[in-house]
Every structure is written in C-alpha cells, then in structure tokens.
Amino acid sequence: METHGSLVAEAAAALSAAGFADARRQARRLISEALAITQSDLFGHPDRAIDEQQIGRVRVLLDRRVAGEPLSRILAKREFWGLEFTLSADTLDPRPETETIVEAVLRRKLDRHAPLRLLDLGTGTGCLLLALLSEFPGADGVGIDIAEGAVRTAARNAVLLGLADRARFFVGDWAGAVSGRFDAIVVNPPYIMSESLVLLPREVACYDPWRALDGGEDGLRSYRAIAEAIPKLVSPDGIVATEISGGQADAVAAILRANGLVVDGIEKDLAGVTRCVVALPPPQRRL
C-alpha cells in the first residue's frame, strides 16, 4: 500500500538518482501538486493511503522532471518578488535575477504612494509590472508583448493577484502599441546572440520561447528598437530600467546614450553579474 510518506521517499530517490540535489523538496512539490493538497498536509499525514489513480498522476509529473523539464514548467507557475505567477508556453520563466529591475526602480522612486504610470515592454507573465504595482498602490500600468498568449497570461496573473484594476495588457511590437508619458519604463528584452541559443542550458533552450530569447546577431537588436522609442515615452522625471546579459552593459549604455538618454547606473544581481542598466531622460527634459 502506497502512502504519502512512501511516495515521497520513492520520488525523492528517483530525483536524487537523476542528479537533483534538492530531491526531497522537489518530490514534495510535485506530489502535493499532483494530489491537489498542500505540502503541509502531505508532510503532516505521512501514513495516509493513496490510490492507484493518484499514484499515476504523481508518476506522470515525476517522469517529466526526471527527463529534465523544469519544475516551474511542470507546475506552470513560478514565484517572483514573493508573488506567484502562472506560466505559459508564450512566456519566459521569470528568474530571480530579473528582480534586480524591480529593486532599481524602488531605489529611485521613494514615494510608494505616488500616482505613477508604469510601462512594461516585453511583459511576458507580467511579473515586472505586477511586482511594481504591488509595491506602489497608487500606480497603474501597461504591459506590452508581441505574443498574444503572453498577454493573456499576464492578464490572468493580474486577476489572480488582485491587481487587474490597475494593469492593462496589449499585444504590440515594443513601444509601437503605446503612447503618452510614463514615470518608469521596465524592459526585459531578448538579448541572447542568435548563434548562442543552441548553447543555452536545456531547461532554457527547450522550454522558454525562442522569440523571447533571440536578440539577433549581436544580442542588441531589441535594445536598438526600444531605445529609439523610449525618449518620447519617458516622463521628465521618469526612469528606464532594462535587463541585460553579463558583458552587455557598455554596449547597451552606448545605445541608450546615442538616443539622448542619460545612464544613471548599472546594477548587479545577487550573483554579482551586471544585470540592469538604468537611464534618465535628457537633462533639458528634467528642467
């Protein structure tokens, strides 16, 4: 007879044999998801018996994980900035290093109750916009993505997080779908060089949408398109924060400067990798 406890042990052993260091934690997450129970319930009732149908559901998810599919893709959700986001095939899987953008905005916009207007270009799951809206209760914002499926996913996340009344999402090609001025513009564009896509880890290359990864021949194609549009969208006292890959800081900063913006800082993530370039409008715009 299988129980909660025996199934956790079996799943943890399979994951450990597949090379996962945190096998027991992942086993508990997979099993609680398959059984539609909380991890506390799973942990608190190790002797509770489970039937063959439940065992089958667990083994389907376990086989996917052993084969290398990311846990977040199997669960179709990921935590970002302490919030839970639904994923879809059209969205990137938000990574902790992207939180560097949220932190950069918070350091520069100190009034948390200001009635800010926010813009998120390449919104994906909506994680950047919705994380910022959770920190700025007086703000509202717009998220743009070229993938219709991503826009649907972001809108759903806004509803699930109780932020739908302050967030709108539209299909568009970068800034071409929006007008007006914004107090903070955040961007997580494709920045991987096309020839390097095949070198990405399997969990990225096989499960994240390539359209959200491919930055063109030099990885900078999207920055050029975005930088041309941003000066007419950022408010006089606004900021722009864009994610970059390690080693791109100088090139991205040069692109922003060439379009009249003033680079205000280059931020590192928790691993010490340069991850975000922050820019301001031209000085004459700030008078």
- What CATH number is associated with residue 53? 1.10.8
Listed residues 48, 68, 88: the one ending a domain: 68
Number of neighbours of residue 102 by Cβ within 10 angstroms: 21
Output the pTM of the full model.
Answer: 0.94
E-state strands within the chain:
77-80, 83-86, 117-121, 140-145, 167-171, 182-187, 234-243, 262-268, 274-280
Q: What is the pLDDT along the chain (287 residues), one digit of tens a residue?
A: 789 999 999 999 999 999 998 999 999 999 999 999 999 989 888 888 989 999 999 999 999 999 999 999 999 999 999 999 999 999 999 999 999 999 999 999 999 999 999 999 999 999 999 999 999 999 999 999 999 999 999 999 999 999 999 999 999 998 888 989 999 999 999 999 999 999 999 999 999 999 999 999 999 999 999 999 999 999 999 999 999 998 999 999 999 999 999 999 999 999 999 999 999 998 765 54
Same domain flag for 86 and 25: no
> What is the C-alpha separation between 215 and 252, in angstroms, rounded?
12
Same domain flag for 170 and 56: no
Report the SS3 class of residue 83. strand
Same domain flag for 278 and 199: yes
Supply the pLDDT for residue 44: 86
Same domain flag for 81 and 155: yes
Supply the pLDDT for residue 287: 47
Same domain flag for 40 and 100: no
Q: Could you tell me if 143 and 136 are in contact, meaning their C-beta atoms sit under 8 angstroms apart?
A: no
* CA proximity to 62, closest of 99, 16, 107: 16
Listed residues 68, 89, 110: the one ending a domain: 68
Same domain flag for 52 and 83: no
Listed residues 44, 68, 92: the one ending a domain: 68
How many domains are contained in the chain?
2
* CA proximity to 12, closest of 45, 43, 44, 52: 43
- What CATH number is associated with residue 149? 3.40.50.150
- The range of the structural domain enclosing residue 40 comes to 4-68
Supply the pLDDT for residue 175: 84
Report the SS3 class of residue 74. helix
Same domain flag for 146 and 245: yes
Same domain flag for 223 and 145: yes
Number of neighbours of residue 148 by Cβ within 10 angstroms: 10
